[in-house]
Amino acid sequence: MKFRIVLSFLFATRRYVWLTVNRLLSLISPMRYAFGHMGWRSLILHPDLITGHEHIYIGDNVFIRQHARLEAIPLASGLPPRLEILDGTHAEFYFHVACANHVRIGRHVLIAGRVFITDHDHVFTEPNRPILEQGLSVHPVNIGDYVWLGEGVIVLKGVHIGDNAIVGAGSIVTNSIPAGAIAVGIPAKVIGYRKGYKPIN
């Protein structure tokens, strides 16, 4: 029993030391100062890709695990994108967000692994022209505070997810979800509400 307690203590201590060291290193990393804003005690662990740093705004105490892709993509029109991830949000492995207009992820949002959020689609109206040359269709995405996005959720352009909503694993969100709602499926549909919330008529 004592051996197990010691092992548990050592494991917890190692994890704390590891996170502390990474946070300290992030303070002196030149990449930190390339962002539009990087909040206090925020940490992005070994991302696979970050583009448009100057258009990305990270709040305080944000934690994003390994292999993230954060993309802020300027449009040909010259309008700058704005990607916001607010205070206390936590994202797991392989989180991917692609922003060409405006993506706002609220405070204390819990994002499971392999979640993809985007505010744009490729235009594909001309069959005989390469899709990459046809431009983008963009609409802002807004994810409220205290939202939980389950494993593998995809959030598409123009969606608003209200505060305290939950989206089940593997869902594809094509339409807005009210505050406090629980939504699942492809496309995601509301199947219930959290305590204290009522359906919107």
pLDDT of amino acid 117? 98
Residue 14 phi, psi (nearest 5): -60, -45
- pLDDT per position as a tens digit, 88-118: 999 999 999 999 999 999 999 999 999 999 9
122 given a catalytic annotation: yes
pLDDT of amino acid 198? 78
CATH for 35-193 is: 2.160.10.10
pLDDT of amino acid 10? 52
pLDDT of amino acid 99? 97
Q: Which segments in the chain show pLDDT lower than 70?
A: 1-33, 76, 200-201
Whole-Å CA distances, 73 to 21, 57, 187: 31, 14, 26
- Contacts with 133 (C-beta within 8 Å, 6 or more apart), sequence order: none
Q: Among residues 46, 108, 120, 122, which one is catalytic?
A: 122
Q: What is the distance in angstroms between the CA of the first residue and the CA of the last residue of the chain?
A: 56
Domain boundaries, the chain: 1-34, 35-193
pLDDT of amino acid 199? 75
Q: Nearest Cα to 149, choosing from 69, 94, 70, 71? A: 94
pTM of the model: 0.84
